[in-house]
Amino acid sequence: MHSEEQKSVLVSGGRGFIGHATVKLLQRSGYRVLSLDLGTVIQTQPVTNSQQIQCDLEDVGRLQDVFERNRISGIIHLAAILPTAAQRNPLLATQVNISGTVNLLEMARRFRVERFVFGSSLSIYGTYPAEHVVSEGDATVPEDLYGAAKLYVEQMGRAYRESYGLDFISLRIGRVVGPGTNSMSSAWRSEIFELLTTDHPAEICVPYRPSERILVVHVDDVAQMLLALLSASSTKQTIYNAPCSAIVVEDLKRVVVHRNPRLTLRLGQGIPVGNPRALDFSRFENEFDFKIVPIFDRLRKVN
């Protein structure tokens, strides 16, 4: 017997960068949210439609207890070991990104969750020529453990959809930017927003060559896309490329420095690998009538 009648949405990785933005958006949209994360619960001012739960996805008993105590109608699965950490600790990455996800899929099957939205990644495509516009129909050839795990989960989700009727949907997301990433390996993704109004000289290091084109998307747009997939009465597809901005690195430098001359953007000589550099995301845009806010527009409006 469930301890309460109100249906809930579970967000795994709810205290992560994308998870935090998604939880806040769900709350504002009237959902009751279970924010699931491995980290210790932070005591904050009570929110009537949200609950933080400390839970390891590998702990099947604890996970089952969460589902027994709550009527969970939807899942947004974002918990993962990210690429750099996955390369350093491949065993942990496999346990979390694959085994933990399988445990969550099993709970979704057993407790008849209505929809399972998976935060996938454009890294499942691997590197494509700069001029090749990648669509959902292109071959998936991930080049690292993180991308390979995302692809495996998509295949697992498809199997659960076909075998058990679980409404599994995958959103393939590019490089996410915005304040608060707390990333050690890609600090520039947040610094271009966090330092934009600084009164002191500061340097931001972007590892790519000036002429390179990269795909980026703001975290708030990602949260909006995840909500659209969760709340749709039905979806035409099971896999969607997430809309994003294709920006040239030199243009990023120009916009940021023009916005605040105290900033210096030091560019590297890196080539974006492991991800497409041009993307077709019309499937999502057309079905959900969705337009992102271009990254340069967001940067120009930071106060």
Alpha-carbon distance 202 to 200, whole Å? 6
Q: Which residue carries 């041009």 as its tokens?
A: 278
Q: Which among 128, 146, 160, 208 is annotated as catalytic?
A: 146
For residue 267, give every residue at least 6 positions away whose Cβ sits within 8 Å of its Cβ, in sequence order, or none: 206, 207, 208, 209, 210, 249, 250, 253
Residue type, 147: G
What CA–CA distance (Å, rounded) separates 292 from 171? Answer: 15
DSSP-derived 3-state class of residue 129: coil
Active site residue 240: no
Closest listed residue to residue 78, CA positions, set 21, 123, 18? 18
Question: In the β-sheet with 167-173, what is the strand arrangement from edge to edge?
Answer: 50-54, 33-37, 7-12, 71-77, 115-121, 167-173, 239-241
Q: In Å, what is the CA distance from 277 to each residue of 122, 134, 151, 264, 302? A: 10, 8, 19, 25, 26
Instruction: Write out the two tokens for 48.
Output: 């009537």
Question: E-assigned strands of the chain?
Answer: 7-12, 33-37, 50-54, 71-77, 115-121, 167-173, 175-177, 202-208, 213-218, 239-241, 245-248, 263-270
Return the active site residues: 146
